[in-house]
Amino acid sequence: MSTERTAILLGASGMVGGFCLRALVDDPVYTRVMLFGRRQLPALTRAKVSQRIVGDLATLTAADFRGGQDLFIGLGTTIRKAGSQAEFRRIDVELPLHLTTEAAKAGVEQLVMVSSVGADPRSKNFYIHTKGELEQEVAKLPFKAVHILRPSLLVGKRAEFRLGEKAVMTMAPALDLLTIGPLRKYHSLRAETVGDAMVRIARQGNPGINIYEYSDIVRLTASAA
Residue 221, CB half-sphere, CA atoms under 13 Å: how many? 19
> Is 214 in the active site?
no
The residue from 48, 105, 127, 185 that is catalytic is 127
Residue 89 burial (CB count, 10 A): 18
Exposure letters 140-177 (e unless 16+ CB within 10 A, then b): eeebebbbbbbbbbbbbeeeeeeeeeeeebeebeebbe
**Active-site choice (30, 131, 186, 212):** 131
Instruction: Give the β-pairing of 5-10 and 30-37.
Output: parallel
The answer to whether residue 30 is catalytic is: no
What is the distance between the alpha carbons of residues 172 and 153, in angstroms, rounded to a whole number?
8
**How far, in whole angstroms, is CA 184 from its chain's centroid?**
21
Pair 8, 72: CB distance under 8 Å: yes
Residue 9: strand pairing partners: 35, 72
> Residues with catalytic annotation?
127, 131
